[in-house]
Amino acid sequence: MEEVDKILIHALRQVGTEVSDDVQSVKQFTSELIVEAVVRCVRVIDPGLGGGLPASLPPGMSARFRVGMSLAQACQDLGYKGEIGYQTFLYSNEPEIRSLLMFLVEKLPRESAEASDQPAGKSVVLQRAISAAIKAQLALPWLPPNCRLPLLCETQSPGPLHAFHTQSLSLAHNVKCPEKKHFKGMPLTARIFDYQRDILPPVTAQASHHASVAASILEQHMAELSATQEWENEWNSQGLLSRLTPQDYRSRKLTRLQKRIEEQLRSAALLCPESAIGANRSNSDLSELLQSFRGTAPTDHLLTKGTHFTHTQKFTFTQETAAAASPMPSGRQSEGDVQVRQQEELATLQQQLQQLCLDVDQLTTDMKQMNVTTAQVWDELKKRELGNSEMEERMRVKKKTIDLLPDGESNLVKLQALVEGSAKRVVNLASQWEKHRAPLIDEHRRLKELCSNQDRESSRKLSEIKDLHVKIREAAEEAKKKEGLYKQLITELENLPQDVSRSAYTLRILEIVGNIKKQKEDITKILSDTKELQKEINSLTGKLDRTFAVTDELVFKDAKKDESVRKSYKYLAALHENCSQLIQTIEDTGTILREIRDLEEQIETENGNKTVANLERILEDYKAIRQENSALAAKVREG
Amino acid sequence: MVVLLSRLPLQECPKLCHRVVDGVCGREPPRMADYSATWSLEEWLELLNSLSSLFRLAVGNNSCDEEVLAGLSDVGSGYGEAVLSVLRARREEIRQALVERTNFISSAVLQDFDWQLKLALSSDKISSLQTPLLSLTLDVRENGALRPVTMELNREELHTLISSLEAANKVVLQLK
């Protein structure tokens, strides 16, 4: 019974009843405790039913009585079959209370068990963990910053609230070394290395705030990574198609971009209202702009070497300036003469130029015609040569026939023999070929068949392998899923309250079951024993009856003749009667003993019910009620 | 007014110059407190300005060593040599910084950004919300002044923002 009481007390504590640690069994429960436990259980099982019930006993006796009545009613509503009334609560007796509490605890809803049956997803577990962590943090009291333990600093200090900022960092590897200029015998890269070795602070000391170190490093890394990726993308999509080396491609791109920018600037400069004053000025503006642009533009080693663009630009600009400079000194001489002379000269030169242009045009058309005619002539020549060779062939055949003509008949015979011989040879060869061909064809067919068989086999195996792969993947997925479920269940198991040792209970239950089995066996043994005894008794009584009947008959026969025998017959009858009486008495004794035992048991249970104490309490309560009643009556009278 | 440099001992000069270059490249410039014994505040600011503009000009105009030395002729030759060596070592870095500055020619420029991911567990109306929220802070430099722009985005809004940024990036790539 101790075990049952422990379980009951544990369940009642979970429901919210305050059972003190001293109370170890139901025997120690007071009336107040019983009422509280029952009310809490009823509230959990059926909130609507338990809502109107007070959790503690009131002081007044009649009120107590009413509470007991309503509690009993509630328990009966829940389906309790046993005897119950106000006396169950007010004048408790141990077995009744135990059975009532067991009924109520069994009725308690098991939502937690039902919830844990369904496998929860990872997110649910995570959310539960989050809410648990937040609950724990909220439960901690807030402390002023100076009193915080290092454990609390993590959750209570506003440390992670400040923003992250990035700064540019100087890293040794991403400073490109420009061309290796030698300066007084020392290469330029050596100076950079000196700087990096002696003065450049380590990367953790470069940022002004300690908090921005990580952010700056990550930012720098991301920038480099994305630049590299972009370049690789571009190179793979467009650069490889252009079939240039990376450097060529880059320089070409640079040129294109600069041209584009130049165009943009030029159009912007033309649109500008100031450009209406003079094209010269806009030109100079543009060149200045370009010059300044070139100064700040990326002058990495590709550019400083001098790109195509810069070369052409320089070339055109210098030409322009030269052209602008050359007319200047001539302009200082006497202007009128020079102008007239220059105009004349210009006219003649222009005429000459036109003439020359015309000549050149004519000559080019002539050349084209000539080229066409030569090609035609070459074609004709080839055709003629082909015709010639054909003619020569024909001539040779005709010459031979003419040579053979004088000895015509013999030559004809010879020719026929030759033809026949060759025909025979052809037939011969054909038969030989057939001979060779048949086995070869057979072989070919056989091999073909073999090949197709193998093909089929291999495709079959391939499909099998594919099936296997699919199965393997499915199995792996299932295994993964199961593993996840297993882990989750393990964590849940760890999280479960450990105060109730399930294994002990199960062991105990198994032991009890074993005991019951043993007892059952004993009972059946006893039953069989009694049956056997009964049988023996029956057979013995039968035997007795029969022997008695035979003896009775024999003695009765003789009794008519002999007096002594008649006496003995009388004795026999008396003996039989006495014996049956004796047996009856023994049986009666047995039944009486059994009755006595029953009565003793009843007395014991009645003693266990604390009848006397309860009777006294009932008497006291009765007196209290009477007093209350009389007080009330007095009040009524007074009122 | 680079002449003021000669008040510093020659061994200290490269260190100071490197710190000035750090300032040009967007890191922490040298602090007045370290040199307050040598210069007054006014002189210090003047020196700092002149040195950084010297470096910028030298790299921006791609001027050769002789031109730089000519600009430094009024300080002692040892100082000129020291400044020149610093310039040679850091030329590439300064150039990168200047290119960066040229890139920021538009009216508003994104200088920096920061983000925090938050999980709203519940609200005043819904007990279990479980919505991730991103609070994004953009530091925008507008006409030289830093203006923080802070917004809170849910998942869909963040997707919209990212897709529009990707579209912008595509346009930039087409320009190239």
Q: What percent of chain B has pLDDT over 70?
A: 99
Phi, psi of A140 (to 5 degrees): -70, 140
**Nearest to residue B24, comparing CAs of B64, B62, B55, B3?**
B55
Query: Burial letters for A423-453: b for 16+ Cβ neighbours within 10 Å, e otherwise?
Result: eeeeeeeeeeeeeeeeeeeeeeeeeeeeeee
Question: Is the distance from CB of B59 to CB of B91 less than 8 angstroms?
Answer: yes
B32 or A441: whose pLDDT is higher? Answer: A441
Q: How close is the nearest chain A Cα to the Cα of B16, in Å?
A: 10
pLDDT tens string A413-431 = 988 999 999 999 999 999 9
Amino acid at A151: L
pLDDT tens string A572-619 = 889 889 988 999 999 999 999 999 999 999 998 888 767 778 888 889
Parallel, antiparallel, or unpaired: how do β-strands A182-183 and A186-187 relate? antiparallel
The answer, as to whether pTM is greater than 0.80, is no
Amino acid at A108: L
Name every residue whose Cβ is closer than 8 Å to that of residue A13 and which is 6 or more positions away in sequence. Answer: A19
Query: Which pLDDT does position A289 carry in this prediction?
Result: 56
A55 or A357: whose pLDDT is higher? Answer: A357
Q: Give the range among A44-58, A283-297, A301-315, A585-599 with minimum mean pLDDT.
A: A301-315
Residue of A nearest to B31 (CA): A208
List chain A residues with CB under 8 Å of B102: 296
Give B141's strand partners.
Answer: B109, B146
| Per-residue pLDDT band at A304 (split at 50, 70, 90) | very low
Question: Is the distance from CB of B104 to CB of A302 less than 8 angstroms?
Answer: no
d(CA A257, CA B61): 21
Instruction: Provide the CATH topology of domain A2-109.
Output: Actin-binding Protein, T-fimbrin; domain 1 (1.10.418)
Amino acid at A254: L
Q: Is the Cβ pair B14, A199 closer than 8 Å?
A: yes
Phi, psi of A161 (to 5 degrees): -80, -20
**Interval B69-74 mean pLDDT:** 76
Q: Give me the helix-helix angle, B77-103 and A188-198, nearest 10°.
A: 90
Question: Is the distance from CB of B38 to CB of B110 less than 8 angstroms?
Answer: no
Residue to test with chain B: of A184, A189, A191, most B Cβ within 10 A: A191
List chain B residues with CB under 8 Å of A253: 176
Q: Is the Cβ pair B93, A166 closer than 8 Å?
A: no
Query: Which pLDDT does position A157 carry in this prediction?
Result: 61
- Token pair belonging to A477: 């997925």
On the question of pLDDT at A635 being above 50, the answer is: yes
| Per-residue pLDDT band at B54 (split at 50, 70, 90) | confident
pLDDT tens string A435-463 = 999 999 999 999 999 999 999 999 999 99
List chain A residues with CB under 8 Å of B14: 199
Amino acid at A373: T
On the question of pLDDT at A107 being above 90, the answer is: no
Question: Is the distance from CB of B10 to CB of B79 less than 8 angstroms?
Answer: yes
Q: Is the Cβ pair B25, A253 closer than 8 Å?
A: no
Residue to test with chain A: of B19, B31, B93, most A Cβ within 10 A: B93
Q: How close is the nearest chain A Cα to the Cα of B127, in Å?
A: 12
**Interval A26-53 mean pLDDT:** 82
List chain B residues with CB under 8 Å of A167: 26-27
d(CA A8, CA A286): 98
- What is the 8-class DSSP label of residue A499? S
**Interval A147-173 mean pLDDT:** 69
In angstroms, how far is CA A187 from the centroid of its own chain?
57
A211 or A76: whose pLDDT is higher? Answer: A76
Query: Which pLDDT does position A522 carry in this prediction?
Result: 96
Residue to test with chain A: of B96, B122, B138, most A Cβ within 10 A: B96
- Contact of A617 with chain B, judged by CB distance below 8 Å, is answered with no
d(CA B105, CA B141): 11
Question: Is the distance from CB of A102 to CB of A80 less than 8 angstroms?
Answer: no
Question: Is the distance from CB of A236 to CB of A208 less than 8 angstroms?
Answer: no
Query: Which pLDDT does position A136 carry in this prediction?
Result: 85
d(CA A577, CA A552): 13
d(CA A97, CA A27): 9
Q: Is the Cβ pair A164, B114 closer than 8 Å?
A: yes
Q: What is the largest CA-CA distance in chain B?
A: 76
A164 or A537: whose pLDDT is higher? Answer: A537
Domain boundaries, chain A: 2-109, 125-161, 182-325, 407-500, 502-608
A585 or A214: whose pLDDT is higher? Answer: A585
d(CA B126, CA B142): 40
d(CA A61, CA A629): 10
Residue of B nearest to A124 (CA): B130
Average pLDDT, chain A: 80
- Contact of A231 with chain B, judged by CB distance below 8 Å, is answered with no
List chain A residues with CB under 8 Å of B62: 295, 299
| Per-residue pLDDT band at A301 (split at 50, 70, 90) | very low
Query: Which pLDDT does position A158 carry in this prediction?
Result: 58
Residue to test with chain B: of A126, A131, A175, most B Cβ within 10 A: A175
**Nearest to residue B130, comparing CAs of A127, A206, A81?**
A127
Q: Residue B13, exposed/middle/buried by CB under 10 A (0-12, 13-18, 19+)? A: buried
Beta strands in chain B (DSSP E): 108-120, 131-142, 145-153
Name every residue whose Cβ is closer than 8 Å to that of residue B141 and which is 6 or more positions away in sequence. Answer: B104, B108, B109, B110, B111, B147
- Contact of A541 with chain B, judged by CB distance below 8 Å, is answered with no
B71 or A70: whose pLDDT is higher? Answer: A70
A475 or A496: whose pLDDT is higher? Answer: A475
On the question of pLDDT at A528 being above 50, the answer is: yes
User: How many contacts, defined by CB atoms under 8 Å, are there between A and B?
Assistant: 68
Residues 104-133 of A with CB under 8 A from B: 127, 130-131
Q: Is the Cβ pair A188, B88 closer than 8 Å?
A: yes
On the question of pLDDT at A297 being above 70, the answer is: no
- Contact of A199 with chain B, judged by CB distance below 8 Å, is answered with yes
Average pLDDT, chain B: 84
First to last CA, chain A: 55
Query: Which pLDDT does position A293 carry in this prediction?
Result: 54
Instruction: Write out the H or E segment, with its range, that includes residue A187.
Output: strand A186-187
Q: How close is the nearest chain B Cα to the Cα of A295, in Å?
A: 5
Query: Which pLDDT does position A159 carry in this prediction?
Result: 53
Query: Which pLDDT does position A452 carry in this prediction?
Result: 96
| Per-residue pLDDT band at B1 (split at 50, 70, 90) | low
Give B145's strand partners.
Answer: B142
Query: Burial letters for A252-287: b for 16+ Cβ neighbours within 10 Å, e otherwise?
Result: bbbeeebeeebeeebeebeeeeebeeeeeebeeebe
What are the C-alpha distances in Å from A158 to residues A149, A165, B160? 15, 17, 31
On the question of pLDDT at A114 being above 70, the answer is: no
- What is the 8-class DSSP label of residue A183? E
Q: Is the Cβ pair A168, B97 closer than 8 Å?
A: yes
Name every residue whose Cβ is closer than 8 Å to that of residue B32 and which is 6 or more positions away in sequence. Answer: B41, B44
Q: Is the Cβ pair A170, B93 closer than 8 Å?
A: yes
d(CA B50, CA B5): 10
**Nearest to residue B48, comparing CAs of B61, B32, B60?**
B32
Secondary structure (3-state) at B28: coil
Name every residue whose Cβ is closer than 8 Å to that of residue A572 and which is 6 or more positions away in sequence. Answer: A551, A552, A555
**Interval A347-356 mean pLDDT:** 94
Name every residue whose Cβ is closer than 8 Å to that of residue B60 and which is 6 or more positions away in sequence. Answer: A295, A296, B98
List chain B residues with CB under 8 Å of A257: 176
**Nearest to residue B4, comparing CAs of B32, B39, B29?**
B39
Phi, psi of B110 (to 5 degrees): -80, 115
Query: Which pLDDT does position A334 carry in this prediction?
Result: 66
**Nearest to residue B96, comparing CAs of A204, A224, A314?**
A224
